[in-house]
Amino acid sequence: MCVLIVGASAQAGPAIEIGEDAFNFGRISQHAVVSHRFTISSVGDDTLRITKIVTGCFCTKAPLEDSVLAPGEQTTLELFFSTKSFRGYVNKTAYLETNIGEAKEYIKISSELLPQPDTIMPIHLSPARLDVSQFKPKPRTKARFYIHNKDSVDYQITLIDHADHVFDVKLPEIVKAHDSAWGGIIVHDDAIKTEFEHSLTFEINDANRTRYTLPVKCMYRVKK
């Protein structure tokens, strides 16, 4: 969904366009951090100023790359959600205040938090979280996980979202019934010596287009 807020006309004054105003993480394990990037564009004929971001709770953070956008410029708002001990269906909303007026611009995330991910049909992931933390001088650039299909039908796997500025993702095209297939990530060279918590999200082609999100964490603790 594309949200467009304008003044008296499409060209008069500041205006904001959010590439999408909602994201569904699907099924996630507890006690992890996941993320999604929202694109914000200045589409008016005057400077757009994002004056305030309110996330609503301490479990959600939304750092903004740039709060002042000239006409035609874009920025990224990355929303981080800490799953903590939540369980079941969880929805979170953040909003932006701008110099357009008193109206607030909302972004939303939804998820299903799983206390025991390996008991959920039809797919479960092992491990339920990826850790590419750096503790040794030799860089750790890759991590592998397995997608286990416990159902009696094959499932197609489609990558929906990932932190493409930090790592690349490899996924199988199909996981056959009662079988497993592996996927993996490769951390970018310029991210190896950084600390981050991000995620990847994929979807299966069941009736509900069920999504699964795998948290990815990196700490940098290499001793010189």
Domain boundary among 114, 144, 179: 114
Which amino acid belongs to residue 224? K
Could you give the CA distance from residue 50 to residue 48 in angstroms, rounded to a whole number? 7
For residues 36 and 89, membership in a common domain is answered with yes
Q: What percent of the chain has pLDDT over 70?
A: 94
For residues 97 and 16, membership in a common domain is answered with yes
pLDDT of residue 9: 47
- Global pTM reads 0.90
Q: Which domain holds residue 201?
A: 117-218
Burial environment of residue 222 by CB neighbours within 10 A (0 to 12, 13 to 18, 19 or more): middle
Is the confidence at residue 6, as pLDDT, over 50? no
For residues 102 and 153, membership in a common domain is answered with no
Residue of 127, 143, 132 whose CA lies nearest to 218: 132
CATH code assigned at 106: 2.60.40.10
